[in-house]
Amino acid sequence: MSVPEFSSMIRNDSRFYYDDPDSLMEGFRNLVYDVIKPRIPDIFTDIPAANLSVVPDPSPDATGAFYLAGSYDGSRPGIFYVNTYHYDAQ
């Protein structure tokens, strides 16, 4: 299978998309909290004290997802916004 064929398959197969906003958020939270976060100390030595929140953004005009950095001292968490309006395109 060529790269263009593989790309087309992924874009057009519903197995690779979420069924509803709740499953989209569950998928992103699992990825962030259970897969990425435990590996951060293996990659970085200087880790900010701020927590990270993964929150829905139901706006029809929002991008797929975006991140706002928290404060380094931990007083404000980082926030990862996930567009749940277009859940079926992610």
Residue-range domain boundaries for the chain: 18-89
On the question of pLDDT at 88 being above 80, the answer is: no
> Each residue of 4-34: pLDDT tens digit?
999 999 888 888 888 899 999 999 999 999 9
Rounded Cα distance between 1 and 19, Å, is 27
pTM exceeds 0.75 for this model: yes
